[in-house]
Structure 1
Amino acid sequence: MSSPLRAAILVISDSAFVDPGSDKVGPALTEIFTSAQLQSKGWTFPKVDIVPDDVELIQDVIKNYTDNENDYYNLVVTSGGTGFAVKDVTPEAVAPILHRHAPGLVHGMLAASLQVTPFAMMSRPVAGVRNKSLILTLPGSPKGAKENLEAVISLLPHACIQAAGANSRELHAGGLKKLESEAGVSSTNSNATKKDSLSHDHHHHHHNHGGGHGGHQIPKAHTAPEDRPQSNDPNAGPTRRYRSSPYPMLSVDEALRIIAQETPEPTTTQVPVDSDLVGSVLAEDVYAGEAVPAYRASIVDGYAVIVPSSGSGTKGVFPVASVSHAQAASMPPPLNPGTIARITTGAPLPPNANAVVMVEDTILASTTPDGKEEATVEILTDNIKSGENIREPGSDVSRGSKILTRGDLISAVGGEIGLLVSTGTRTVKVFKKPTVGVLSTGDELVLHDDPRVLTGGQIRDSNRPSLISCLRSWGFETVDLGIARDTPAGELEKALRGAVRGLGSDKPPVDIIITTGGVSMGELDLLKPTIERTLGGTIHFGRVSMKPGKPTTFATVPYKPSTAAGGDTAQQEREKRLVFSLPGNPASALVTLNLFVLPSLHKMMGLASTSTAPSPLPTPTSVGLPIISASLTHPIPLDPKRTEYHRAIVTASRKDGRLYATSTGLAGVGQRSSRVGSLAKANALLVLRPGEDRIGEGQLVEALLMGGVVPE
């Protein structure tokens, strides 16, 4: 079957149906299907829907997935409703509409969960085929759902291909070993893995005993230890250290894809509507609580009048009966026929009034005896129509109408905040912004404000202040983690652990750690070994084919909160923290901060939360720096092997309206990664693909905008 494999995820939950932002299962299962391993097996990005615990609704959605001969999903996985609670009706909904049952898949999922906890027996999974689609029911917890799916996912392409009508004789022509090889499984390895998992279970598993959800995911290695890249052992002598990096060289696109895959989905929080809301992304649609305006209001300064039903009769001299101001705390008195009321722009119309005459169409006829007020006013026109110069209630915003949409960014311009407060909105639900910690590493570093004269090989720590200032300008809470020395005794480990746990009231726990330095191959480059060997983290990549920034490293470290929200810490799911280890050279650090860290921050703050597919590349419509095209003002030589992110100044010409890019590294000095000056005044990174020649003057190049365009 050469066509892609299509999967649909159906989350069955009353609460998630009401608040889709609370769903954690859909993103967890989507992460499996979008992994590099499953993408290579032909799986496409899955469709995700949410329905409540209702038999008919569940059946209707599944039939919609499976019953169209020319548009069906190869695999349908449901999550939730498989336990013993009164509302758990998923098996009752799915089993009757199956054409053929698949008890072997049920057994496989249960067997995997039973290796973790006996409570797996409290789940009631169902599996089978409807038409050409394979259907599986999974538990409702993210851990349980992932565990069950990962137990059988390697075998599902074969099952889906058969269900779709492939020739079984041809599929099985190579025998069982061929099928196992294609699926990436082995009966021998499976038994060994099972034995190892059971014998070491008390060291590696923290069971969640929630009824029917199957506990935690079973650790399942897909590579042999000797085949995995690993950092230098700090205890190894010079003769046993690597001479070249054990980490494969990734493209920038692949590195961004991995970052997007590993970055957690955003969480939500309720916040007041005030100036601190600027830079936040809405986590739900917002509806107007009040109409704007809430009353009939004048749109001009003038006089409220009663236009007779005949459509004429406003010309003449009229007594001024009252005054209506925009700041009035109450409505003006009713207007009687034959009288008028002075009114200011935005003020409420008196009852009975049905039009407003502009002050320009009137003259003063007489004043009160003290000369301080108008007594009578002459209206000079008889052409005033009913409804003229009046703003009706709700004409700007009607009560209950949608005023902002989930995914909208609250800008500093003030328009969104003005709209919210004008409609009486006091609080909104937003995606929580991540907190970022910045740590410099190296024995050679001296605080940037240290008054002492530098000696020997000392350098001032310029990275930390520049990265922190950049992060804060983006609107993220940033924690200064200081400098960690290159000591194998554990100073780096202590700093990293402290960052995720919090170091007091002035240094709260962070979601993302950014380090600079210590990522190369020297004996004192301890960042990778500390993450892998001491903290039990995973290095997702350790080299990127780019210039500058080649040794950029991205990792995740496991973290278990000290207290579970509202309950037992033993049932708290383990989380992960992201670690971006950037090169120590100043230009490299700032380039990679913009290129790799910013897209991850954007995803965590919800900017990519409304996407229907992953978008790892920084584009104007997703996350990261916006891309523009600019014309070069001079030629730039290309690197023959690596993509260069060349620091430049982009200007807008007043003459022709075009954008022009000029390098910050001319005059023969180039753009070495250690050149701090190459980023001064730079507002863009030119994306220069590898080549043997150069890009000439006047040619268009892609540019990632780091700041505002400079007028020429």
Structure 2
Amino acid sequence: MSQAQQYSVGILTISDTASADSTKDLSGPTLKTVFKQASKEKITFNVIKSAIISDDFEQIQNIVKTWSDNENLDIVVTTGGTGFGVKDITPEAIEPLLQKKSPGIAYAMITTSLQKTPFAALSRLVSGVRGKTIIITVPGSPKGAKENLEAVINVLPHAVDLAKGGTGENVHAQLNAQKTNNSKDESGHQCVHNTKHEHHHKHEHDTTRSFLSDPLSGPVTQRQRKSPYPMITVDEALNIIANNAEILGSITVPVNENLVGMVLAEDVYAKEPVPGYRASIVDGYAVVASDGPGIYPVVGVSIANVQSEAMQLKPGQITRITTGGPIPNGATAVVMVEDTSLVSSSADGLQEESVKIHVQARNNEWIREIGSDTSVGTVIVRKGELVTAVGGEIGVLSSVGVREVRVYKRPVIGILSTGNEVVNHNEPELKYGQIRDSNRPTLLAIGKITGFEVKDFGIVSDNVQELENVLKLALSQVDVLVTTGGVSMGEFDLLKPTLERSLEATIHFGRLKMKPGKPTTFATIISDEYKKLIFSLPGNPVSATVTSYLFVLPALRKIAGYDNWNLPIVQAELSNNISLDPRPEYHRATISYDYTKGKFLAVSTGNQISSRLLSMCSCNALLKLPGKTDQLKELVKGTMVDAILIGQLN
């Protein structure tokens, strides 16, 4: 079997904003995904260099020259700085470096973008060859960068081969072999050069885009027999999601119980001191400390919110005072009631007239001074802090007169099930071949209990047009859409092709090296106004639930502004032997803390087959188990493993 043709790639993001904060770079990761998705069995693009720099002429030239002259990369793609902005200098920096210009590549990219927006006419793209390196500039927006690269990515292997002095025959051979294997032509290129052959490939779809999914129409005999999506690890998937999950912005909300679960978008300062007056810490008597022990007349009483500001205590007098009561003017200490005794009372026995003080009071004893708890201007909660259900944050905000705060917006989630066989869980009877929808109720419950706004979009049958319509409806109302079913290799698994071909979504991954949840899919749809995240989870109930905790919930927490957006992990000791699977497994378990041993103990919930939802009952953790090897086939009782907490500890 022939080796795959390998092409080395460098991606250079040119942006003042992204160079100051790398999390703002969306185009670089988008281009990397396009190259990954375009890698086939016979042709592979390897992104081995990436960098983010400001709009600096010398920096741009230095990196591009290093990558082409010293690193000998096959392809260099820059993103950003191609417009009419004052700092947009990428074309001016790149053009002098080109030894041969390729206006056809730039024309193909601009023509593709013009089909989407007339503003593409303002894009100043250049491309060409330096040494043996193909250099391309694309716009800085993720959508524009993706469209432009997809427009020409299928001709790049041929261009590289020619730039290196070849004839392109190897590339054609690989593409033809790939065409035979896949029973269709995805290469989409046409070329004429100084050899004795010409190639004119016809296409079944828009040649400006490269799809991995099967067409939405066509005979089942032409469907792919193996998933075209590269299998990536869970850690790689989490990194991709993290790069695409962005905070939505901030809003001002009142301080009340609805604040729980929100993250502060700015520091909050105390507007009022706590306490706002000198207050007693105990029940007792306000005294003049220098008077000392003795018998004193009781001349008044100070109760919280009752005592008159005009009350004046003179030496030789005391007043009765309750916890929280204002300290009368002239008083310098408080004596606890336990350190006193009654000497005389009124004739009716209802009022104290004189009391004996048994101790020597110290100045300011049992007195809370103004602002001693919190002074005006103190930072009481900081930006990025979560308002918890414990109540402390709401309590302190309320205590200092803060009536509203700025918080990060919480994403709105949509939940959708797919499948001809799926019916609502409350149907009175099932027909042969039907199953009750357990995924939607489960995911709706998870969304609600974690405090996010959730919208239910019901069940969609395996119908192309109906699925497209409901997806568009849902995406118009939510920030994150979660679907279950329709992501595997069946003839009615329509999610991936509908997302790619009908909604022009970018599928960042469509297959994971994990159990359960192998066909889990993550996609985004980006426009100038919004960015939507789409998680298409497997239809098996356990797979859907596990992947919602592993991927969806962390993404929601990151969007909502959580600093620690991943779920907490603890070390737990296995209470039973567990056989390993070839794939890394997220094993359902119940963990509890053993105070005698001083450690967490994990007990498996039993049979872990992905359709057995009983394995989620009483589950509060997912054990991260390694894949099976010849040396390690089982984890024995007593082994310590990482446990991702998804529920309350028992």
Same fold (TM over 0.5): yes
1:299 to 271, 276, 281: 281
The one-letter amino acid paired with 1:462 is: S
- Once residues 301 and 403 of structure 2 are traced to their aligned partners in structure 1, the CA distance between those partners, rounded to angstroms, is 32
Deviation at 1:359, TM superposition (A): 0.8
Q: 1:387 — aligned with what?
A: 364
Deviation at 1:206, TM superposition (A): 6.0
Q: 1:492 — aligned with what?
A: 467
Matched, 1:590 2:567: no
The one-letter amino acid paired with 2:516 is: P
Deviation at 1:441, TM superposition (A): 0.2
8 Å CA contact 1:9–1:26 kept in 2: the answer is: no
- Once residues 601 and 402 of structure 2 are traced to their aligned partners in structure 1, the CA distance between those partners, rounded to angstroms, is 44
Q: 1:434 — aligned with what?
A: 411
Q: 1:192 — aligned with what?
A: 104
Matched, 1:704 2:641: no
- Once residues 250 and 307 of structure 2 are traced to their aligned partners in structure 1, the CA distance between those partners, rounded to angstroms, is 38
8 Å CA contact 2:114–2:121 kept in 1: the answer is: no
Q: 1:237 — aligned with what?
A: 219
- Once residues 237 and 264 of structure 2 are traced to their aligned partners in structure 1, the CA distance between those partners, rounded to angstroms, is 28
8 Å CA contact 1:548–1:644 kept in 2: the answer is: yes
Between stretches 588-597 and 317-326, larger displacement belongs to 317-326
1:680 to 617, 621, 633: 617
- Once residues 634 and 61 of structure 2 are traced to their aligned partners in structure 1, the CA distance between those partners, rounded to angstroms, is 63
Q: Deviations over 1:246-296 (max 9, x none)?
A: 111111111111111111233111110000000111111111111111111
Deviation at 1:205, TM superposition (A): 2.1
Cα 1:352/1:527, change in 2 over 3 Å: same
1:630 to 567, 572, 575: 572
Q: 2:375 — aligned with what?
A: 398
Between stretches 546-555 and 235-244, larger displacement belongs to 235-244
8 Å CA contact 1:229–1:246 kept in 2: the answer is: no
Look up the SS of the partner of 1:292 in the other structure. coil
Q: 1:474 — aligned with what?
A: 450
2:256 to 259, 265, 274: 274
Between stretches 233-242 and 592-601, larger displacement belongs to 233-242
Q: Deviations over 1:140-159 (max 9, x none)?
A: xxxxxxxx77x699x79x99
Matched, 1:204 2:116: yes
Q: 1:224 — aligned with what?
A: 154
Q: Deviations over 1:687-711 (max 9, x none)?
A: 111123111111111111111222x
The one-letter amino acid paired with 1:324 is: S
- Once residues 99 and 582 of structure 1 are traced to their aligned partners in structure 2, the CA distance between those partners, rounded to angstroms, is 43
Query: 1:357-368 to 2 correspondence within 5 Å?
Result: 357-368=335-346
Q: 1:659 — aligned with what?
A: 600
8 Å CA contact 2:15–2:80 kept in 1: the answer is: no
Deviation at 1:341, TM superposition (A): 1.1
- Once residues 246 and 330 of structure 1 are traced to their aligned partners in structure 2, the CA distance between those partners, rounded to angstroms, is 81
Look up the SS of the partner of 1:281 in the other structure. coil
Deviation at 1:328, TM superposition (A): 2.9
Cα 1:292/1:110, change in 2 over 3 Å: closer
Query: 1:88-237 to 2 correspondence within 5 Å?
Result: 112-113=82-83, 120=84, 123-125=85-87, 187-188=101-102, 191-205=103-117, 207=119, 217=144, 219-221=147-149, 223-224=153-154, 226=186, 228-237=210-219
Q: Deviations over 1:373-428 (max 9, x none)?
A: 111111122x2111111111111111101111111111101111101100111111
8 Å CA contact 2:31–2:149 kept in 1: the answer is: no
The one-letter amino acid paired with 1:707 is: G
Look up the SS of the partner of 1:266 in the other structure. coil
8 Å CA contact 1:266–1:603 kept in 2: the answer is: no
Matched, 1:574 2:529: yes
Cα 1:24/1:337, change in 2 over 3 Å: farther
Query: 1:454-473 to 2 correspondence within 5 Å?
Result: 454-473=430-449
Q: 1:129 — aligned with what?
A: none
Cα 1:237/1:35, change in 2 over 3 Å: closer
Deviation at 1:8, TM superposition (A): 11
Query: 1:346-357 to 2 correspondence within 5 Å?
Result: 346-357=324-335
8 Å CA contact 1:208–1:215 kept in 2: the answer is: no
Matched, 1:645 2:615: no
- Once residues 301 and 641 of structure 2 are traced to their aligned partners in structure 1, the CA distance between those partners, rounded to angstroms, is 64
Q: Deviations over 1:517-573 (max 9, x none)?
A: 0001111111111111111111111100101100001111245xxxxxxxxxxxxx2
8 Å CA contact 1:514–1:580 kept in 2: the answer is: yes
Q: 1:607 — aligned with what?
A: 562
- Once residues 101 and 114 of structure 2 are traced to their aligned partners in structure 1, the CA distance between those partners, rounded to angstroms, is 24
- Once residues 706 and 110 of structure 1 are traced to their aligned partners in structure 2, the CA distance between those partners, rounded to angstroms, is 41
Look up the SS of the partner of 2:451 in the other structure. coil
Deviation at 1:653, TM superposition (A): 1.7
- Once residues 340 and 592 of structure 1 are traced to their aligned partners in structure 2, the CA distance between those partners, rounded to angstroms, is 68
8 Å CA contact 1:332–1:348 kept in 2: the answer is: no
Q: Deviations over 1:61-84 (max 9, x none)?
A: xxxxxxxxxxxxxx4458xxxxxx
The one-letter amino acid paired with 2:589 is: A
Matched, 1:695 2:643: no
8 Å CA contact 2:418–2:483 kept in 1: the answer is: yes
- Once residues 418 and 410 of structure 1 are traced to their aligned partners in structure 2, the CA distance between those partners, rounded to angstroms, is 10
8 Å CA contact 1:644–1:689 kept in 2: the answer is: yes
Between stretches 265-274 and 220-229, larger displacement belongs to 220-229
8 Å CA contact 1:35–1:261 kept in 2: the answer is: no
Cα 1:248/1:516, change in 2 over 3 Å: same
- Once residues 308 and 106 of structure 2 are traced to their aligned partners in structure 1, the CA distance between those partners, rounded to angstroms, is 77
Q: RMSD value over aligned CA atoms? A: 3.4
Cα 1:27/1:420, change in 2 over 3 Å: farther
Q: Deviations over 1:340-394 (max 9, x none)?
A: 111111111011111111111111121223321111111122x211111111111
Deviation at 1:652, TM superposition (A): 1.7
8 Å CA contact 1:209–1:215 kept in 2: the answer is: no
Cα 1:42/1:446, change in 2 over 3 Å: same
- Once residues 460 and 649 of structure 1 are traced to their aligned partners in structure 2, the CA distance between those partners, rounded to angstroms, is 26
- Once residues 203 and 250 of structure 1 are traced to their aligned partners in structure 2, the CA distance between those partners, rounded to angstroms, is 33
8 Å CA contact 2:593–2:599 kept in 1: the answer is: yes
- Once residues 285 and 467 of structure 1 are traced to their aligned partners in structure 2, the CA distance between those partners, rounded to angstroms, is 33
Deviation at 1:224, TM superposition (A): 2.1
Look up the SS of the partner of 1:319 in the other structure. strand
Matched, 1:420 2:397: yes
8 Å CA contact 1:625–1:706 kept in 2: the answer is: yes
- Once residues 92 and 47 of structure 2 are traced to their aligned partners in structure 1, the CA distance between those partners, rounded to angstroms, is 17
Matched, 1:408 2:378: no
Look up the SS of the partner of 1:520 in the other structure. coil
The one-letter amino acid paired with 1:347 is: G
Look up the SS of the partner of 2:82 in the other structure. helix
8 Å CA contact 1:552–1:592 kept in 2: the answer is: yes
Deviation at 1:202, TM superposition (A): 4.0
Matched, 1:343 2:325: no
Unaligned runs of 5+ in 1: 12-22, 47-74, 79-94, 114-119, 126-137, 139-147, 160-175, 178-185, 502-508, 560-572, 609-621
The one-letter amino acid paired with 1:638 is: L
The one-letter amino acid paired with 1:543 is: R
Cα 1:209/1:398, change in 2 over 3 Å: farther
Deviation at 1:6, TM superposition (A): 12
- Once residues 409 and 111 of structure 1 are traced to their aligned partners in structure 2, the CA distance between those partners, rounded to angstroms, is 38
8 Å CA contact 2:113–2:120 kept in 1: the answer is: no
Q: 2:523 — aligned with what?
A: 555
Normalised by the length of structure 2, the TM-score is 0.76
